[in-house]
Amino acid sequence: MAIGVKALPFTFVVHALAIVGAILVLVWCIDFRGGLAWEASNKSLIFNLHPVLMLIGLIIIGGEAIISYKALTLRKEVKKLIHLVLHAIALILGIIGIYAAFKYHNESSIANLYSLHSWIGIAVISLYGIQWIYGFVIFFYPGGSTGLRSESLPWHVLFGLFVYVLAVGNAAIGFLEKLTFLENSGLAKYGAEALLVNFTAVLTILYGAFVILSVASQGPVEDDYSYSAI
């Protein structure tokens, strides 16, 4: 499905949106929501870790991991290492971010795992982990046979993008869920905070779209036209 344009300009957009997205979620959770804490009597500060770690970790660093083959002009082996290390960081931050949500719920006597956001979240982090382990074993160490690698690669790309799109969609669901709770508790529906959260969600979706666009476009070297370098 490769489109006939260079990926590099799209990857610049990804980097720019990454910076803006990280700033927006920090401004929301620190300036508007009171800050971040692992232990606190104000349990909301524990919750605030959740959107920060999920957006900056799973979505932003995960997105940069995905586009590493298209964004960088390094040797394939180096890009592969960057790809798997960034994904590992994204996965670990995602797990800590999900743990923070459970910690907040448990310490505030809020029910766990009843919402669609939590269901999809558990599915995403599980599939992300499975995808990472499969990728590591087949493409890095010890590595599958040439036949298995070349058969696996399009599925690795397709399944990886599926999990990533699910993660981005679930981030949007999470922003809406939290904002709906806040609006039910009296937050102004057209106020500054509501607009900030909605714009952060829209930017997250755009970030995901440019990640996909980068993958669908042509990489910096000729062998990127084929699957072999994805």
* Residue 70 CB-half CA count within 13 A: 31
Q: Please state, in angstroms and rounded to a whole number, the distance separating the CA atoms of residues 135 and 156.
A: 7
In our burial notation (b when 16+ CB lie closer than 10 A, e otherwise), range 58-95 reads bbbbbbbbbbbbbbbeeeeeebbebbbebbebbbebbb
CB nearer to a copy of itself: give 78 or 158.
Answer: 158
Distance CA 164, CA 68 (A): 15
Is the CB of 34 or the CB of 154 nearer to a copy of itself? 154
206 makes contact with a copy of itself (CB under 8 A): no
186 touches a copy of itself by CB under 8 A = no
12 counts as binding a copy of itself under rule CB under 8 A: no
Interaction with a copy of itself in 131-170: which residues (CB under 8 A)? 151, 154-155, 157-158, 162, 165-166, 168-169
Distance CA 93, CA 51 (A): 11
**Sites for a copy of itself among residues 40-59 (CB under 8 A):** none
15-23, 61-69, 101-109, 190-198 -> range binding a copy of itself (CB under 8 A)? 190-198
Q: Is residue 124 within the footprint of a copy of itself (CB under 8 A)? A: no
CA distance 215 to 71: 10
213 binds a copy of itself (CB under 8 A): yes
Strands, E assignment, the chain: none
181 contributes a contact to a copy of itself by CB under 8 A: yes
Residue 136 CB coordination number (10 Å): 15
Based on the shown chain and the rule CB under 8 A, indicate whether residue 119 belongs to the binding site for a copy of itself: yes
Count the residues in the chain: 230
Q: Out of 209, 218, 220, 229, which residue is the one contacting a copy of itself (CB under 8 A)?
A: 209
CA distance 148 to 40: 50
Find the shortest distance in angstroms from Cβ 119 to a copy of itself.
6
The residue within the footprint of a copy of itself, chosen from 126, 202, 223, 226 (CB under 8 A), is: 202
Is residue 75 near a copy of itself by the rule CB under 8 A?
no
- Tell me 186's DSSP state: T
Under the rule (CB under 8 A), what is the footprint of a copy of itself?
Answer: 1-4, 111, 114-117, 119-120, 151, 154-155, 157-158, 162, 165-166, 168-169, 172-173, 175-177, 179-181, 184, 189-190, 194, 197-198, 201-202, 205, 209, 212-213, 216
